[in-house]
Amino acid sequence: MNFHVLTLFPEMIQAGLETSILGRALEKGFISLEAVNIRDYTTNKHKKVDDYTYGGGAGMLMQAQPVYDAYQAVKSKTATGKSRVIYVTPQGAVFDQQKAEELAREEDLVFLCGHYEGIDERVLEEIVTDYLSIGDYVLTGGELPAMVMIDAISRLVPGVLNNNESAEFESFQDGLLEYPQYSRPE
Ligand code: 58G
């Protein structure tokens, strides 16, 4: 599984996913992670990525141009050039274990992380295939939700957990929760 994340804060994505189990999975090559800085694709000299909403209304939006160009750069690195593009937004369908299982079967996944009040609708219409949310609350950026989804998907990728069974026979099968577990001392 190859994850590609379009973000204004690539260090946040790298730092959050390069530790522990996912860090080992990255080292071993079971998953790969590319965090692309949308700001690197601005064409204006001030590297500005945001603008006021046209026609007034609340706050700032991310502009279409740098998002679109960053996406084009990532798209050319995917296996088929038509991988799913997930926009993480509180307006999306709630991401659950079934969605994680479905997405874990893909070869490449592109995540788009917004900031401010979101992203210019025109680029979303053009590139986004899935609108997903981690729950009914609003965050300052899409990075944390993208990391949550990448974690849930990664542990379903063969090889990521040492024991294949741990992913398979777990709590979420049939919606049943596991019994409580204990370590030592007895
Ligand atoms: C309204 C406000 C629409 C995902 C902000 C879009 C992203 C929560 C979730 C936004 C997010 C979630 C800008 C910041 C998306 C953009 C981002 N908040 N519940 N915030 O998964």
On whether the CB atoms of residues 38 and 5 are closer than 8 A, the answer is: no
Task: Please name the helix (run of DSSP H) or strand (run of DSSP E) that holds residue 89, with its range, or none.
Answer: strand 84-94
Q: How far is the CA of 141 from the centre of ligand 1 (A)?
A: 6
Residue nearest to atom 21 of ligand 1 (CA): 133
Using the predicted structure, report yes or no on whether residue 164 has a pLDDT greater than 80.
no
Strand partners for 85: 110
Atom index in ligand 1 nearest the CA of residue 116 equals 13
Q: Mutation test of ligand 1: which of 38, 67, 87, 89 has the most ligand atoms closer than 8 Å to its C-beta? A: 89
Q: Is the CB of 142 under 6 A from ligand 1?
A: yes
CB neighbour list of residue 86: distance below 8 Å, 6 or more residues apart: 103, 109, 110, 111, 112, 128, 129, 130, 131, 132, 146, 149
Burial class, 44, CB count within 10 angstroms (exposed 0-12 / middle 13-18 / buried 19+): exposed
Q: How far is the CA of 118 from the centre of ligand 1 (A)?
A: 7
Atom index in ligand 1 nearest the CA of residue 133 equals 21
Q: Is the CB of 16 under 6 A from ligand 1?
A: no
* Chain position carrying tokens 């729950």: 135
- Residue 95, φ and ψ in degrees, nearest 5: -70, 130
CB neighbour list of residue 35: distance below 8 Å, 6 or more residues apart: 5, 7, 10, 11, 13, 14
Q: Is the CB of 59 under 6 A from ligand 1?
A: no
Does residue 90 have a cis peptide bond before it, meaning omega lies within 30 degrees of 0?
no
- Region class of 41: left (phi > 0), else alpha (psi between -120 and 50), else beta: alpha
Using the predicted structure, report yes or no on whether residue 182 has a pLDDT greater than 80.
yes
The DSSP letter of residue 173 is G
Over residues 119-161, the pLDDT tens digits come to 999 999 999 999 999 999 999 999 999 999 999 999 999 999 9
Q: Mutation test of ligand 1: which of 53, 99, 120, 139 has the most ligand atoms closer than 8 Å to its C-beta? A: 139
* Position 97, amino acid: Q
Over residues 12-52, the pLDDT tens digits come to 999 999 999 999 999 999 999 999 999 999 999 999 999 99
The arithmetic mean of pLDDT across residues 85-99, rounded, is: 98
Q: How far is the CA of 95 from the centre of ligand 1 (A)?
A: 14
Using the predicted structure, report yes or no on whether residue 115 has a pLDDT greater than 70.
yes
CA distance 133 to 176: 23
